[in-house]
Amino acid sequence: MKVYDAPNIRNVALAGHQGSGKTSLVEALLFAAGITKRMGKVEEGNTVADFDDDERERQMSISTAVVPIEINDIKINLLDTPGFTDFQGDVQQAVRVCDAVAVLVDAVSGPEVGTELAFQAADAFNQPILIIINKMDRDNANFQRTLEAVRERFPDHKFVPIMLPIGEQANFKGVVNVLTQKAYLNEGKERTDPPAEMADAIKEAHLYLTEAAAESSDDLMEKYFDQGELSIDEVRAGMRAAARSADLKTIPVFVTSATHNIGTYPVLEAMTVYVSSSDNRRVGWKEKDENEVEFLNPPQSKEGPLAGYIFKEYTDKFGTISYFRLFSGTLKSNDNVYIPNRDTNERFGQLLVMRGKEQIQVDEIHAGDIGAVAKLREAHVGDTITVAGNRKKIVRPQRIEPVYTVSVHPKTQADSAKMGPTLTALCNADPTLRWRPEPSTKETLLEGMGGIHIEVAIKRAERLGCNIDTAIPKVPYKETITKTSIAEYTHKKQSGGAGQYGRVNLRVEPMPPTEEFVFESEVTGGAVSAQFIGSTEKGVRGVLDKGVIAGYPVVGVKAIIFDGKMHDVDSKDIAFQIAGSGAFQEAFRKGNPILLEPIMKLTITVPEENTGDIIGDMSSRRGTVQGMDSMLGRSVITVRVPYSEILRYSDDMRSMTSGRGVFTMEFDGYERMPPHLSDAIVAAYKAEAES
């Protein structure tokens, strides 16, 4: 493959709801461009983009695939992103490095939650959008109904059909280019006259297209008002300018049947026209998070300062391949670069261009292009590639908070030493995965976006040679008291030789759970020396992490030693540590102890028809609705609910909404647990301790 310069490169992310046909469209575009001799099928596991074993097994995309296509001396880098909501992190990274987002919409089901997420991702980086209404061959497919549904869902955008379908469902046999008013029949690339019965529809669509093109500039608008028409070249230029500007919110609309390869070649041609060349991309970067963003303004060129961004890693038994977009400058094989995110240098070995799993070796990558390199040691997803001395980092996508957690355990002793490095490698490759120790439950937690996301991660860990078991995590409850109480505890040990003696009189008082533990002394008259007061505090603090009634950390308590007794010979540090610990536990039990449970704030977005089910389900989970809004056929519900009730909510909600709902989750404090629930936890802890 030859080396391309930015004016001849288009980077297009394919996004949309799961099952809208993104991977099938890639197959059709490859075939239409003559790169492949036959079209693969997702259900047969032989597509170029879904080359991972997990993808073939599940018959769905789980990570972004890069598929370059060369046509008319232009290179189109297609980024086939996952539609399943668990893998939205991949979508964000792909949109970060593309020049436009082609959003596929199913002609039967219309816009869904994946459509909205694609629009949100594009908006986050001010990316232009194209709409491709796909699956026009399916039963109940309807172009006009789908177009109107898209317009209703996104009323602040102007959707302009560039192509019209010839027939629908089983009768779908081609498309008409509204601008040229020529038809492409079936899989053909040759232009012909459209059916006569479509004349009125074509005329109406052409008028709408002309008006949209005129709105792209004052000059075109003035000419259109004066003369009442624009030339084909003027309409093309005006629509090109409108489509390439995200700010104008003018979106060209195309129509296809990817599996039948109808309308796909016109889409390929249109990408060379309506998607901006990659030298026009403005790049924001900054040295520190708190700094204002600085921009590398277009045009970008191979002679510019080196600026690249790593957006994907893929690991198999042969090692790790890192994918990057070069925004500016030139990168050559074996170059040394600087990674400001890690404050380290990295040597890039042999540069690659990836087409699915195919590796094409190249000597250099120029600004605007997407490349790959194997076996990086320091740089990971989200990192910037630049030169020594430049500490500016390209702005990453906004962090996505995880909504699904499992506890993880090594299957064997041999896996124990591997687990930490393996989890770190997984999280480096996928920023929406996180792992951490949870001291309060003594577990190691792996957090992600859903059950399938975690399953895929565990499978990848196995490929890295580490076998991991998962379980539902324990809930990190807290223990506290609700009233002031006192206790006296004497530790006395005399078994011959040196003895141990210490008596502590302790008072405990409730405080707000968010405040730090306080230990004070009210001892007078030297009943307990300063040294042994310190020993007492040490003993008390030793209880805080272990808990008293159920084994959970203690919060919201102040402890005051107000009296005690020493022995001239037998009082020692250890004696007062033990006495302090015993006095605190006894006083705590007298203080009407309770359990506090973590509360989460959920923002749930679902179709309006699912609203009642969601609210009823939340009520059964002890949730309280804080607010509800309606937004273009969807309900946005804000709920506070105990964490223990939503440990598997990601999967449960997907089932309730047929995959059409999404939610975000954030910690919202601790609250008192109902007695009948906390009593059961305390009893279980006591029974386990006595067994």
Q: Which of 289, 331, 323, 325 is nearest to 306 (CA)?
A: 331
What mean pLDDT comes out for the span 646-657? 91
The CA-based angle 287-288-293, given to 5 degrees, is 70
Residues 6 or more apart whose Cβ sits within 8 Å of residue 307: 283, 285, 296, 326, 327, 328, 329, 384, 385, 386, 394
CA 19 and chain centroid, separation: 19
Beta carbons within 10 angstroms of residue 394's beta carbon: 25
pLDDT exceeds cutoff 80 at 532? yes
Tens of pLDDT, residues 170-228:
999 999 999 999 999 988 788 899 999 999 999 999 999 999 999 999 999 999 999 98
Work out whether the CA dihedral 674, 680, 684, 687 comes out positive or negative. Answer: positive
pLDDT exceeds cutoff 70 at 473? yes
Dist CA 599 CA 475 (whole Å): 11
- 3-state DSSP assignment of residue 513: coil
pLDDT exceeds cutoff 80 at 497? no
Residue 435 φ then ψ, to 5°? -135, 150
CA 312 and chain centroid, separation: 13
Query: How distant, in Å, are the alpha carbons of 47, 313, 354, 592, 643 from that of 358?
Result: 12, 15, 6, 66, 44
Tens of pLDDT, residues 380-405:
999 999 999 999 999 999 888 899 99
- How confident is the prediction for the chain on average, in pLDDT? 94
| pLDDT for res 189 | 81
Dist CA 18 CA 112 (whole Å): 9
pLDDT exceeds cutoff 90 at 291? no
Residue 667: beta bridge partners?
Answer: 600
Residue 132: beta bridge partners?
Answer: 104, 254
DSSP conformational letter for 397: P
Q: Which of 276, 288, 260 is nearest to 7 (CA)?
A: 276
| pLDDT for res 400 | 87
Percent of residues, the chain, with pLDDT higher than 70? 100
Q: How confident is the model at residue 138 (pLDDT cuts 50, 70, 90)?
A: very high
Q: Of 417-431, 490-504, 617-631, where does mean pLDDT reach its minimum?
A: 490-504
Long-range contacts of 647-654 (CB under 8 A, 24+ apart): 647/405, 647/472, 647/473, 647/475, 648/404, 648/451, 648/472, 649/403, 649/602, 650/86, 650/403, 650/404, 650/449, 650/450, 650/451, 651/404, 651/450, 651/451, 652/617, 653/604, 653/606, 653/614, 654/85, 654/450
Residue 596: beta bridge partners?
Answer: 478, 672
Residue 502 · residue 490 · CB < 8 Å: yes
Beta carbons within 10 angstroms of residue 58's beta carbon: 16
Q: How confident is the model at residue 235 (pLDDT cuts 50, 70, 90)?
A: very high
Residue 65 · residue 356 · CB < 8 Å: yes
- 3-state DSSP assignment of residue 501: strand
Dihedral of the alpha carbons of 175, 275, 268, 144, in degrees to the nearest 10? -20
What mean pLDDT comes out for the span 503-529? 95
Residue 306 · residue 385 · CB < 8 Å: yes
pLDDT exceeds cutoff 90 at 505? yes
| pLDDT for res 471 | 96
Dist CA 191 CA 186 (whole Å): 11
| pLDDT for res 282 | 84
Dist CA 176 CA 163 (whole Å): 5
Q: Which helix (H) or strand (E) holds 267?
A: helix 264-274
Q: How confident is the model at residue 496 (pLDDT cuts 50, 70, 90)?
A: low
Residue 488: beta bridge partners?
Answer: 505
Q: Which of 96, 81, 105 is nearest to 157 (CA)?
A: 105
Dihedral of the alpha carbons of 161, 166, 169, 170, in degrees to the nearest 10? -160
Domains in the chain with CATH codes: 6-278 (3.40.50.300), 283-394 (2.40.30.10), 404-474 (3.30.70.870), 479-592 (3.30.230.10), 596-677 (3.30.70.240)
Q: What is the residue-wise DSSP string for 357-370?
A: TEEEEESEEETT-E
Burial of 196 (0-12, 13-18, 19+ CB in 10 A): exposed
